[in-house]
Structure 1
Amino acid sequence: MVFSLIIAIVGHEIMHGLMAYRYGDDTAKNAGRLSPNPLLHVDPVGTFLVPSLLYFSTGFLFGWAKPVPVYIRTVIRNGGYLAAIQVSLAGIAYNITLALCASAVLHNLTAPSSMVSLFIYSFFSYLVVINVILALFNLYPIPPLDGSHALSYFAAWMGWHKVAHWMDRAGRYGFILLVLLLISPFSIYVFAPMHYFIGLLLP
């Protein structure tokens, strides 16, 4: 689970930086944040505290890495708002791709017959689960999730500047809204799409 989580969340953040670098923003590169070294992406709360508390209280593993620095004005100047949307969704695209690849591997593995094969099977299973959760959860248009940034840039791209401005201002309350949503009875609907797609991808 730990290996799968690190690959999912570190790769997610690196992809944001790589996409921004494609459009001329070298902020992440200069900060050394395009490296696959997980120690450079550790967030004390999101990488250790939250996953540990969740796992030992519910058996559920979820977390996040330290956000990769991106100077989005450079991206917009060089590639427009469409480039900013690509930067926002790059991590999600990575997680979806990784989940699909892990699912393909799982469907070609035989039933585990040893500790080694069980480890391999479990590793790819958790790659599917964690990457699906990260991808779909981040798609929700609630700050500070990636979906909210993509929607804000889309609104600006379409000329809906009042909507984009309102979303930027609402960002300060997004984390509180997110926490309230997750501890409310409506959380079952938040995770329902994830359960559905995990069921499709796992053998």
Structure 2
Amino acid sequence: MNFDLFWLFRSLPAVILGLTIHELAHAYTAFKLGDMTAKNEGRLTLNPLKHIDPLGFILIVIAGFGWAKPVSFNPEHLKNKHRDEILISLAGPISNFALAFFLLLCARGLFVLPYFHYTATGIEIINLLVSWAVINFGLFFFNLIPIPPLDGSHIYTTFLQKTNPRLFQLVYTYGTWGLLLIILIQVNTKIQILPIMPLIKAITNYCITLLHFT
């Protein structure tokens, strides 16, 4: 495991912003769908201290993978439980995708400023925004992995919890431990079990081409 202080300094703002936007999106979607739990817990805020989980944040710093504090909601307050639970879950990753694209738009805007991208400072700022976009594309793909407790798993666990609670508990418990094992293997070896990096590279290159970075 390589601890890169330079990477940390450059990337931490994007991680904090990404996690904050991600959890706020969960909370806001739940609120709009009729549940007040997140609002009452003070999660409808851009204050990162309300969303950061200490252990998850430490893991992000030292391992590159981690999590924020989950947003609570009461399914009984939702009009369409299964559909709305899925919408709440998907809101987080989608917000990271939107944030990543917005950061690329900002980079593109700076890129077309006269002489800006010819200066060392200008190039550094543009590259920094692109790297922050890459991080948020990473949060998007990582959270869509269909392994509990990640958001992608709610596509099927929301039904499983109702139809087979015992199987749901097994999937959730072993899925969580399995995910941690996969993260440890990827961090400490060259084995890539989850093909996240190729996906991040592909979507970043596509968006850069779409925005005409030339």
Instruction: Give the AA of the match of 1:170.
Output: V
Alignment of 1:18-37 (within 5 A): 18-37=28-47
CA positional deviation for 1:118 = 4.8
State how far apart, in whole Å, the 2-side matches of 1:107 and 1:89 are.
Answer: 27
1:143 and 2:152 matched: no
Distance change in 2, residues 1:119/1:36 (3 Å): farther
Aligned to 2:163: 161
Instruction: Give the AA of the match of 2:200.
Output: M
Distance change in 2, residues 1:188/1:63 (3 Å): closer
The runs of 4+ residues in structure 1 deviating greater than 6 Å are none
Aligned to 1:51: 60
* TM-score in terms of structure 2 length: 0.77
- Gap runs ≥5 in structure 1: 55-60
1:72 and 2:81 matched: no
Distance change in 2, residues 1:112/1:174 (3 Å): farther
1:194 and 2:200 matched: yes
Check the 8 A contact 1:16/1:90 in 2, yes or no. Answer: yes
Check the 8 A contact 2:56/2:66 in 1, yes or no. Answer: yes
Aligned to 1:58: none
Distance change in 2, residues 1:104/1:44 (3 Å): same
Cα RMSD, aligned residues only? 2.5
Instruction: Give the AA of the match of 2:99.
Output: L
Alignment of 1:3-22 (within 5 A): 3-22=13-32
Distance change in 2, residues 1:165/1:195 (3 Å): farther
CA positional deviation for 1:136 = 0.8
Distance change in 2, residues 1:87/1:125 (3 Å): same
Q: Identity of paired residues, percent?
A: 31
Q: String of CA shifts for 1:69-100, please: whole Å, max 9, x gaps.
A: 2223322xx23311111001000111111112
CA positional deviation for 1:168 = 4.4
Aligned to 2:90: 89
Q: String of CA shifts for 1:24-69, please: whole Å, max 9, x gaps.
A: 211111111111111122211122x112213xxxxxx444321122
Aligned counterpart for 1:129 among listed residues 134, 159, 162:
134
For these two proteins, the number of residue pairs brought into alignment is 189
Distance change in 2, residues 1:63/1:121 (3 Å): farther
State how far apart, in whole Å, the 2-side matches of 1:197 and 1:165 are.
Answer: 38
State how far apart, in whole Å, the 2-side matches of 1:8 and 1:25 are.
Answer: 23
State how far apart, in whole Å, the 2-side matches of 1:97 and 1:40 are.
Answer: 21
SS at match of 1:142: coil
- Gap runs ≥5 in structure 2: 1-10, 112-116
* TM-score in terms of structure 1 length: 0.80
Distance change in 2, residues 1:99/1:190 (3 Å): closer
